[in-house]
Amino acid sequence: MGDVGIDPSLLFDEDGQVYFTCPSHAGIMQSTLDLETGKLLAPLQVIWSGTGGAFPEGPHLYNINGW
């Protein structure tokens, strides 16, 4: 996973998908994760480029009442 920062986060969605979210120099990155193998199901993609600092913090996602 190369350029990822500390404090990654997992979101266990209602539909069974597991999302791996982490900070990197490029911003906040995300992919889906296979829990049985521990491997990402797709390459990490930038979902937010941040505000210009290195390794933005707070990539934690929550599913609250369908949001």
Retrieve residue 45's tokens: 């993609």
List Cα–Cα distances, 44 to 63, 64, 66, in angstroms: 20, 24, 24
> CA 7, CA 15: separation in Å to the nearest integer?
24
Residue 61's pLDDT band (cuts 50, 70, 90): confident
Q: What is the pLDDT of residues 3-60, one digit of tens each?
A: 777 888 999 998 999 999 998 888 899 999 999 999 999 999 999 988 877 767 767 8
8 Å CB contact between 63 and 54: no
**Rounded alpha-carbon distances, angstroms, from residue 2 to 6, 31, 44:** 12, 14, 10
Full-model pTM: 0.82
How high is the pLDDT of residue 25? 84
Give the tokens for residue 13: 């969605």
